[in-house]
């Protein structure tokens, strides 16, 4: 058996690794040109019940422990005027250690046999050949035929149309991403506001959420509830976009707005999209989905964990049914659908809670419960 995986995100790589642990070969086709083609960005808290389980199944738990950034589970909630509403230091009991996404991806990549990931292979289309076989076409002109295809290619999956007509829908909110480097020396007021871990400054419909990464980097998501047309009028390739976004926070404390205006990088717009809650499909021979390709919802701190868990569960199911991939895919999907529906319900609720009419008090109650 040889498994063809589209997408070298955390989900696809976890699947490839768990298959490798079980002696099953896989090839991962990835659109990006190389492992370093794009900054991976963002801190991820890795949960005991899904992300950490996946890393155990991948035999990479010790490597994971080696990249944990201590102290980053601390959380502060600030009012727009900078007043501290909640200051929760890390006490080591939350069970959600924080790592850099890029580091996590690196340990997965390093654990795979040379040549497993084929970079520069952007899938342009997939067609069914019958009997569970599929032909995958790439932008570079190549094709492959496979009898076991996994779409791990994220929100805008090219594999998803084989099983479902669902398409992502804009949730009405976007994040704008900024970075401040060497913040303790170059941006000390902002660094003090963020503290040692995460900062949230939220009001109904918008907010500034920042995290201290390694090397004194402050990584910020600025949340705005606006239609896509509103963002389309801003040129995000120009740093003037920072001033335009910051105008939405007029009157807020300068140490908070500095997380926008002092960005050392051009701002990146991240529109938030979702698939319908409860997205599922009838069994289609020879193909399945995992991660955001299967279930996409607005960020709530669980999507990457779920993608890794899906990858591990699918890898274990394939290993448990040698010579019978259909049984493996059926078993995997039977658990996937209720799991992802429950996660999407909870995740959407968590995301909306951040910006609801009681913001920031709903999130403070949640954090202190």
Ligand X SMILES: Cc1cc2nc3c(=O)[nH]c(=O)nc-3n(C[C@H](O)[C@H](O)[C@H](O)COP(=O)(O)OP(=O)(O)OC[C@H]3O[C@@H](n4cnc5c(N)ncnc54)[C@H](O)[C@@H]3O)c2cc1C
Q: Rule CB under 6 A: which residues touch ligand X?
A: 6-12, 29-32, 42, 44, 122-123, 152-154, 158, 175, 221, 270, 291-293, 299, 301-305, 307
**Nearest distance from C-beta of residue 141 to ligand X, angstroms:** 14
The CA distances from residue 351 to 5, 33, 35, 76, 163, in Å, are 30, 33, 30, 17, 28
For the chain, the residue count is: 369
Among 363, 344, 333, 349, CA closest to 303: 344
Give the nearer residue to ligand X in terms of CB position, either 152 or 317: 152
**Nearest distance from C-beta of residue 83 to ligand X, angstroms:** 26
**Nearest distance from C-beta of residue 58 to ligand X, angstroms:** 14
Give the nearer residue to ligand X in terms of CB position, either 46 or 318: 46
**Nearest distance from C-beta of residue 241 to ligand X, angstroms:** 17
As a whole number of angstroms, the distance between CA 245 and CA 267 comes to: 9
130-154 core/surface letters (b: 16 or more CB in 10 A; e: else): eebbbebbbeeeeebebbbbbbbbb
Q: Which two tokens stand for residue 72?
A: 């980053």
Supply angle C-alpha 120, 124, 126, rounded to 5. Answer: 120
Give the nearer residue to ligand X in terms of CB position, either 66 or 301: 301
Give the nearer residue to ligand X in terms of CB position, either 9 or 286: 9
Task: List all residues 6 or more positions away from 297 whose beta carbon is below 8 Å from its beta carbon.
Answer: 274, 275, 277, 303, 343, 344, 347, 348, 351
**Nearest distance from C-beta of residue 76 to ligand X, angstroms:** 17
**Nearest distance from C-beta of residue 10 to ligand X, angstroms:** 5
Q: Which two tokens stand for residue 162?
A: 């084989």
Give the nearer residue to ligand X in terms of CB position, either 11 or 168: 11
Give the nearer residue to ligand X in terms of CB position, either 256 or 298: 298
Give the nearer residue to ligand X in terms of CB position, either 9 or 315: 9
As a whole number of angstroms, the distance between CA 337 and CA 281 comes to: 9
**Nearest distance from C-beta of residue 138 to ligand X, angstroms:** 8
As a whole number of angstroms, the distance between CA 56 and CA 53 comes to: 5
**Nearest distance from C-beta of residue 189 to ligand X, angstroms:** 25
185-218 core/surface letters (b: 16 or more CB in 10 A; e: else): eebeebbebbbbbbbbbbeebbbbbbbbbeeebb
**Nearest distance from C-beta of residue 105 to ligand X, angstroms:** 9
Give the nearer residue to ligand X in terms of CB position, either 307 or 364: 307
Give the nearer residue to ligand X in terms of CB position, either 103 or 292: 292
Q: For residue 3, report the phi and psi dihedrals to the nearest 5 degrees.
A: -105, 130
Inter-axis angle of helices 101-110 and 10-21, nearest 10: 30
Residue written as token pair 């717009």: 269
């Amino acid at each position: 058996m040889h498994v063809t995986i589209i997408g070298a995100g955390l989900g696809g790589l976890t699947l490839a690794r768990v298959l490798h642990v079980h002696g099953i070969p896989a090839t991962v086709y990835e659109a990006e040109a190389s492992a370093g083609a794009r900054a991976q960005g963002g801190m991820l808290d890795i949960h005991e019940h899904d992300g950490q389980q996946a890393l155990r199944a991948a035999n990479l738990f010790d490597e994971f422990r080696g990249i944990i950034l201590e102290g980053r589970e601390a959380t502060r909630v600030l009012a727009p005027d900078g007043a501290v509403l909640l200051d929760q230091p890390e006490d080591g009991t939350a069970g959600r250690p924080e790592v850099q996404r890029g580091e996590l991806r690196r340990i997965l990549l390093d654990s795979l046999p040379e040549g497993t990931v084929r970079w520069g292979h952007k899938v342009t289309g997939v067609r069914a050949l019958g009997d569970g076989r599929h032909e995958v076409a790439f932008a570079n002109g190549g094709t492959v035929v496979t009898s076991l295809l996994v779409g791990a290619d994220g929100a805008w999956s090219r594999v998803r149309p084989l099983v479902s007509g669902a398409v992502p829908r804009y949730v009405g909110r976007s994040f704008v991403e900024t970075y401040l480097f060497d913040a303790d020396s170059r941006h000390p007021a902002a660094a003090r506001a963020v503290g040692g871990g995460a900062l949230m400054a939220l009001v109904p419909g918008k907010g500034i959420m920042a995290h201290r990464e390694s090397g004194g980097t402050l990584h910020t998501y600025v949340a705005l509830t606006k239609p896509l047309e509103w963002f389309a009028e801003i040129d995000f390739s120009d740093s003037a976009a920072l001033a335009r976004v910051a105008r939405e926070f007029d009157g807020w404390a300068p140490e908070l707005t500095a997380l926008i205006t002092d960005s050392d990088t051009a701002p990146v717009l991240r529109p938030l999209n979702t698939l319908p809650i409860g997205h599922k499909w009838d069994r289609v021979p020879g193909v399945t989905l995992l991660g955001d390709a299967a279930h996409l919802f607005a960020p709530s701190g669980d999507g990457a964990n779920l993608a890794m868990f899906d990858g591990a569960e699918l890898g274990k199911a394939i290993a448990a049914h040698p010579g019978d991939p259909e049984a493996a895919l059926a078993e995997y999907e039977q658990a996937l659908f209720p799991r992802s529906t429950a996660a999407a319900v909870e995740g959407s609720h968590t995301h909306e809670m951040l910006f609801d009419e009681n913001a920031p008090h709903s999130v403070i109650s949640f954090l202190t419960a």
